[in-house]
Amino acid sequence: MLQNKNILITGGAGFIGSNLVERFLNQNNRVTVLDNFATGKRENIEEFLSHKDFTLIEGDIRNLEDCLKATLGQDIILHQAALGSVPRSINDPITTNEVNINGFLNMLVACRDNKVPRFVYAASSSTYGDSKALPKVEENIGAPLSPYAVTKYVNELYAKVFADLYGLQVIGLRYFNVFGRRQDPEGAYAAAIPKFIRSFSKYVSPQIHGDGSQTRDFTYIENVIQANELAATATNPKAMGQVFNVAFGEEIILNDLVKLIREVLSGIDKKIATVEINYGPERIGDIKYSLASIDKAKSLLGYAPEYSMERGLRDAIKWYWKNK
């Protein structure tokens, strides 16, 4: 268990970051958040602001001084800050690059200069690009399909170089379609599951891009928290400088996912059973099929995800229904 540590969580006001904040505050750690609230929400961390072991630094990872200030005296960095979304990166590659690459490099430099012992960062399954191989294995990637994918791959390259050159204990976690409580269902770049839940809850037909035959390895937030904790406390030298898939290891067809969401919600509100599904054009830059091998994370980190997609989905739907 990760406890009695000084932990910096960048992007801690975001979906994943705020869940990490909650968990590690509850385990008697001292948690600092660095966030500029470009995509993060103050409401995600509002309940922690009065906590004696919580510190908020409103700053930007694109500013090296902010990174140096935030990393001072920390034991562990959980780097979640990034501009997510493939479509956003296609619309605005420059800002995506500035945040995801320049900001990442600033954090590595700050970690090195302030001698922070452990740097765990959020990587992405988008790095697999046009690779057709299934399941996705860490050492076998394809060509990137979007500016976002390029930035996340460059992060991995920089992390490995800093591990090799400066001896940083760096571990990357390639997230596969994470979902769960506090994930924003609104906006042009909202993730699929919260968007589908919100649409059905409002009796509005959700839209699938393409014919719905694409597959995803959806990963519930609890599995991601577990992976971060394992990476933060790992003692196996073979894990250092490595990147690991973080998923459940099962794929679901998008059509089946949407039908399952409708079915679960219909158990709460019968009218939702009549809501139809809309289909639109495919999105450029999207990966068609996704399924992770989690063997490497199991072997070197002891990763053992407890939440299947369906179990996590039922929990998430309860949360969204309560907070709609």
Q: pTM value?
A: 0.94
Block means of pLDDT (10 residues each) for the chain, 324 residues, are 96 97 98 96 96 98 98 98 92 97 98 98 95 94 95 98 96 96 79 92 93 93 98 97 97 94 95 94 84 98 96 94 85
> Any idea where the domains of the chain sit in the sequence?
6-179+219-249+291-307
- E strands along the chain, which residues? 6-10, 30-35, 54-58, 76-79, 118-124, 169-175, 178-179, 207-209, 215-216, 219-220, 242-246, 252-253, 278-280
Please tell me the distance from the alpha carbon of residue 206 to that of residue 215, in angstroms, as a whole number.
17
Please tell me the distance from the alpha carbon of residue 172 to that of residue 155, in angstroms, as a whole number.
9
Predicted local confidence at residue 84, as pLDDT? 87
Q: What is the dihedral of CA 121, 125, 130, 131, to 10 degrees?
A: 100
Predicted local confidence at residue 191, as pLDDT? 82
Predicted local confidence at residue 287, as pLDDT? 78
Please tell me the distance from the alpha carbon of residue 259 to that of residue 268, in angstroms, as a whole number.
15
Neighbours of 28 (CB within 10 A): 12
Q: Domain 6-179+219-249+291-307, what fold?
A: Rossmann fold (3.40.50)
Active site members? 148
Predicted local confidence at residue 233, as pLDDT? 98
Predicted local confidence at residue 57, as pLDDT? 98
Predicted local confidence at residue 115, as pLDDT? 98
Predicted local confidence at residue 185, as pLDDT? 86
Report the first-to-last Cα separation within the chain, whole angstroms: 33
